[in-house]
Amino acid sequence: MTKREGSLEAPTRHPLDWKSPSFYDRDSCLQEMERVFDICHGCRRCVSLCNAFPSLFDLVDESATFEVDGVAKDDYWKVVDQCYLCDVCYLTKCPYVPPHDWNVDFPHLMLRAKAIQFKEGTPTKFRDSTLSATDRNGKLASIPIVVHAVNRANRMPLARGLMERALGVHRDAWLPDFDSRTFRRTAAKSVDYPVRDGERSPGKVAIFSTCFVNYNEPGIGHDLIAILAHNEIPYVLVSGEACCGMPKLELGDLDAVEKLKNQNIPQLAALARDGYAILGLIPSCALMFKQELPLMFPDDAEVQAVRAAMFDPFEYFFARRRDGMLHEDFNAELGRVSYHVACHTRVQNMGQKTREILELVSGAKVHTVERCSGHAGTWGVKKEFHETAMKIGRPVFNSMAEHPDGPPQWIASDCALAGHHIQQGMSGLEKPTGPRLAHPITLLRIAYGLA
């Protein structure tokens, strides 16, 4: 039978069979890894995406047989450790994804392996579980008497050295500040504007603020609110919001993902049924509700309802514009913006909506960089991965600095964490360009001239 590369049909994603006992069967997972690694070894398209593929190909090339059968199964975990589940190989590169017979889903195979590792326990389990408890960490660190000490410790070399030894957080990795004036506590109440539904955009918004915006950078949430108010779109905050579960998913802790899903989905589904557009302010969190939870819980109607109502903020503004309901009275220029498309924005398959909206601002020159920054949630701050994260990000740091119209005045990424990682990488370049870092939502607020 002739094997055709790729498929004439659109890629499909199989649900994750994580409730089945065989999902956690180590031998069957290793067998599947051998099958997929062999296909990847013959293909090698993904070599430049991340460090998982180079790790695999090095193992093969250094083996006695130069084939996957020469690689010790124990070494497979070295590949697993290098994958941070960005999904880019599946959604933008691989011609062998289903419905192709070869049925390659590299990220979900890595997720299965991580889930097995998590169940079995790893030496870094305490560190990994601590870092991924974003909601709990945020609640503790944003307590007024604690917040200054935490923020100061993040900047003190001595404290960072201790943290590296005790927790395995790399001493040079950028860590976010915490803010005691959390977004959810300080967000202004919406004016009671009339709801004007568009064909593509619901006329009222529910804000899923995310742990990062709530505890670390509430300003992004306030900027979103200012933009919604300017466009006379009524909004609410999602009540009883918990972490979306992405940090736990990346760890393979699927039971924790289910617990968080059970906390979030009832009220999100009620909002979806009530006709709200739900805006997730961090791409990974929006992706969690758009893709990962629907694949983990394919028969859960509430999860599917939330999927249909979830928007990236710029996807929403773009739909609003197509409905003729987005104000375009921008009165401040942005100038040269180097804009990074985060991986978890890319894999939402919605096109470059952030760029398209920012380009509406008069005089805005948006230079778009679409490549992994290497930050990858908590992965890039870990002691053993931080240097690789900086290496993966280097082409992005360089491209962001090379705006075709001159030195960038702004750098921006849909992923606020990736933005800081990029800023850190750019400040190490030989010719520091000195652009300001701002989230695209903040840039939009500036362009509107909203105080």
Q: Decide: is 4 part of the binding site for ligand SF4 (CB under 6 A).
A: no
3-state secondary structure of 439: coil
The answer for residues whose C-beta is within 8 angstroms of residue 111's C-beta and 6 or more apart is 16, 85, 249, 252
Q: Of the ranges 7-15, 80-88, 181-189, 215-223, which one interacts with ligand SF4 (CB under 6 A)?
A: 80-88
- CA distances to 198, 315, 441, 450 from 225, in Å: 19, 16, 10, 11
Q: Of the ranges 90-98, 155-163, 298-306, 418-426, which one interacts with ligand SF4 (CB under 6 A)?
A: 90-98
- In whole angstroms, the minimum distance from the beta carbon of 406 to ligand SF4 comes to 32
Nearer residue to ligand SF4 within complex by CB, 52 or 228? 52
Q: Decide: is 96 part of the binding site for ligand SF4 (CB under 6 A).
A: yes
Nearer residue to ligand SF4 within complex by CB, 369 or 441? 369
Q: Decide: is 244 part of the binding site for ligand SF4 (CB under 6 A).
A: no
CA-CA distance, 298 to 19, in Å (whole number)?
A: 12
Nearer residue to ligand SF4 within complex by CB, 43 or 350? 43
Nearer residue to ligand SF4 within complex by CB, 107 or 168? 107
CA-CA distance, 316 to 333, in Å (whole number)?
A: 22
H or E stretch at 416: helix 416-427
Amino acid present at 395: P
End-to-end Cα separation, the chain, in angstroms? 65
Q: Of the ranges 20-28, 92-100, 227-235, 236-244, which one interacts with ligand SF4 (CB under 6 A)?
A: 92-100
- In whole angstroms, the minimum distance from the beta carbon of 109 to ligand SF4 comes to 9
CA-CA distance, 22 to 211, in Å (whole number)?
A: 33
Kindly tell me which residue out of 29, 85, 269, 342 binds ligand SF4, with binding defined by CB under 6 A. Answer: 85
Nearer residue to ligand SF4 within complex by CB, 83 or 238? 83
Q: Decide: is 106 part of the binding site for ligand SF4 (CB under 6 A).
A: yes
Q: Of the ranges 25-33, 36-44, 143-151, 427-435, which one interacts with ligand SF4 (CB under 6 A)?
A: 36-44
Q: Decide: is 366 part of the binding site for ligand SF4 (CB under 6 A).
A: no
- In whole angstroms, the minimum distance from the beta carbon of 367 to ligand SF4 comes to 23
Q: Of the ranges 82-90, 285-293, 397-405, 413-421, which one interacts with ligand SF4 (CB under 6 A)?
A: 82-90
Of the candidates 408, 427, 413, the one whose C-alpha atom is nearest the C-alpha of residue 374 is 413
Tokens of residue 322, six digits: 């197509």
CA-CA distance, 205 to 249, in Å (whole number)?
A: 27
Kindly tell me which residue out of 16, 29, 33, 40 binds ligand SF4, with binding defined by CB under 6 A. Answer: 40
Nearer residue to ligand SF4 within complex by CB, 375 or 439? 375
Please, what's the b/e burial string for 375-401 (b: 16 or more CB within 10 A of its CB; e: otherwise)?
bbbbbbbbbebbebbbebbebbbebbb
Q: Decide: is 78 part of the binding site for ligand SF4 (CB under 6 A).
A: no
Q: Decide: is 50 part of the binding site for ligand SF4 (CB under 6 A).
A: yes
Q: Of the ranges 50-58, 67-75, 292-300, 416-424, which one interacts with ligand SF4 (CB under 6 A)?
A: 50-58
- CA distances to 11, 118, 214 from 238, in Å: 32, 30, 12
Nearer residue to ligand SF4 within complex by CB, 12 or 427? 12
| CB of 387 closer than 8 Å to CB of 380 | no
Counting residues that bind ligand SF4 (by CB under 6 A) gives 24
Q: Decide: is 415 part of the binding site for ligand SF4 (CB under 6 A).
A: no
103 Rama class: left (phi>0) / alpha (psi -120 to 50) / beta: left
Nearer residue to ligand SF4 within complex by CB, 45 or 148? 45
Q: Decide: is 60 part of the binding site for ligand SF4 (CB under 6 A).
A: no
Nearer residue to ligand SF4 within complex by CB, 100 or 403? 100
| CB of 183 closer than 8 Å to CB of 146 | no
Q: Decide: is 115 part of the binding site for ligand SF4 (CB under 6 A).
A: no
User: To 5 degrees, how large is the angle CA 429–CA 431–CA 437?
Assistant: 70
Q: Decide: is 418 part of the binding site for ligand SF4 (CB under 6 A).
A: no
Please, what's the b/e burial string for 165-199 (b: 16 or more CB within 10 A of its CB; e: otherwise)?
eeebbbeebbbbbbbbebbbeebeebeeeeebebe
- In whole angstroms, the minimum distance from the beta carbon of 105 to ligand SF4 comes to 9
- CA distances to 22, 25, 80, 124 from 117, in Å: 14, 11, 10, 11
Q: Decide: is 111 part of the binding site for ligand SF4 (CB under 6 A).
A: no
| CB of 179 closer than 8 Å to CB of 169 | no
- In whole angstroms, the minimum distance from the beta carbon of 56 to ligand SF4 comes to 8
Tokens of residue 175, six digits: 């860590």
Footprint on this chain of ligand SF4 (rule: CB under 6 A): 39-40, 43-46, 49-50, 52-53, 83-89, 93-94, 96, 104, 106-107, 110
